[in-house]
Amino acid sequence: MTISQRCMGLVGMLVLLAGCSTADAVLWPSLTGEDQAAETQTATDGEVVEDESITVYSDDEIVVEDVMVEEVVAETAIDRAQFGNTGTFVGQKVRELATELAELKASVATNRNAYERQRTIAEQNAQNYYASVAAITARLQIGTTPGNPVLVSQYQAAQAQLDQVANDVSIFNTLNGAVSANAATSSYISDAIVATYRLSGAVEEDHRQLGVLDDENNRTIVTVERTLNDLNSLVERQTVYVNAERRRLTQLGQAINSGRLYGPALDQLGTLQAPLFAEASVAGREALVVIRFVTDDVAYQDALYQAVSAALDRKPDAVFDLVAVAPSAGTSGEVAINSSKVKRHAEDVLRSLSEMGLPADRLTLSAITSAEVEVNEVRLYVR
């Protein structure tokens, strides 16, 4: 009786297409409105190669390419001469278990080979992504024009390459399932060996052969556990990495639009809520930043980033109050106009902080009028 007969429902043939797109949607929207899905994988030398598929083998079916067969047989073959027919019922069970263990060892070796191969592909995909990001960052660092089409093209390539990295995580997850099936099968074989030891009607040769099978299965279990540990560690690490790079691409997209690089994200991005203005008391408080809007196009972004970054260095859990301050002098109509304008300026500042990476849940937005100011101001206070 084969493994497929005994373990039906536990394992199955898993075919993983390395080129399929299963990654989450890119957080930063397309700068051009075009589809950014990666259909090809870019090699280091700039050539485009066809996506390669990976077949993960489980215990129900063993199908390998000719080259792979030689590797698997060389590493996993069991010397059938050790399991001669003793003429007993127990001996027959031993021979069945030997066949099942041989199939398991072939599956384990093949899945390990698939893991090593996919790890090499994932490393290459990460290198391609980092090269694109480095090219974008270097161009932004020295300064460029807003919405530079060269950087837009590189940004799109980086998005596609990060999709490939995310797809690698999906492939590793599916491979993890195949290796887990190997673990279930090895556990079954271990239990079957113990049960066969207890059968009556065995000769000493039967028990010697069972001992050999037990040793072989234990060595297989070590390989399975090592592969599972490697996969679990890699998936956890890569998942954190992809999520962080999604946020990084969001910031790079904004930097490309503005033509300048702010620097590392201030914190993890939060969801920007619609601003709700409320009355606020700022008496006795010293503002971290004061932006005076003597004109509508004040260049405040760089100074704002530096101030907030320094504040977070000193106090990582800082919360910020953004206050729109309009002059209270003048007619009621003038006060209303100034109050409306300064609120729009405050919304722009809030949007800039969000694009720099500051979460919306660490910002409050308020509006007041004051006799102490002559022009519209937006102030940032730290708590």
* 272 in any annotated domain: no
Domain count within the chain: 2
Q: Are residues 119 and 239 in the same domain?
A: yes
Residue ranges of the chain with pLDDT lower than 70? 1-81, 262-282, 333
Q: Are residues 239 and 365 in the same domain?
A: no
Tell me the DSSP string of 322-349: EEEEEE--S-HHHHHHHHHHHHHHHHHH
Q: Are residues 11 and 158 in the same domain?
A: yes
Q: Are residues 87 and 17 in the same domain?
A: yes
* 84 in any annotated domain: yes
* 284 in any annotated domain: no
Q: Are residues 218 and 367 in the same domain?
A: no
- Measure the CA–CA gap between 349 and 356, rounded to whole angstroms: 11
- CA 313 to chain centroid, in Å, comes to 27
Q: Are residues 251 and 296 in the same domain?
A: no
Q: pLDDT value at position 203?
A: 92
* 131 in any annotated domain: yes
Q: Are residues 177 and 75 in the same domain?
A: yes
Q: How far is CA 122 from CA 37, 165, 238, in A?
A: 17, 6, 10
Q: pLDDT value at position 281?
A: 63
The amino acid that residue 113 corresponds to is N
- CA 50 to chain centroid, in Å, comes to 23
Q: Are residues 293 and 229 in the same domain?
A: no
Give the pair of three-digit tokens for residue 104.
């398991």
Q: Are residues 254 and 305 in the same domain?
A: no
* 282 in any annotated domain: no
Residues 6+ apart with CB under 8 A from 220: 101, 104, 105, 108, 186
Q: Are residues 86 and 167 in the same domain?
A: yes
Give the CA angle between residues 319, 321, 327 to the nearest 5°: 170
* 310 in any annotated domain: yes
Q: pLDDT value at position 140?
A: 87
- Measure the CA–CA gap between 142 and 158, rounded to whole angstroms: 20
Q: Are residues 145 and 209 in the same domain?
A: yes
* 92 in any annotated domain: yes
Closest CA to 12 of 190, 180, 230, 130: 180
DSSP three-state, residue 25:
coil
Start-to-end CA distance of the chain, whole Å, equals 71
- Measure the CA–CA gap between 214 and 172, rounded to whole angstroms: 29
**CATH number where 347 lies:** 3.30.1330.60
Task: List the domain range (segments joined by +) for residue 221.
Answer: 3-258
Q: pLDDT value at position 236?
A: 80
Q: Are residues 295 and 241 in the same domain?
A: no
* 248 in any annotated domain: yes
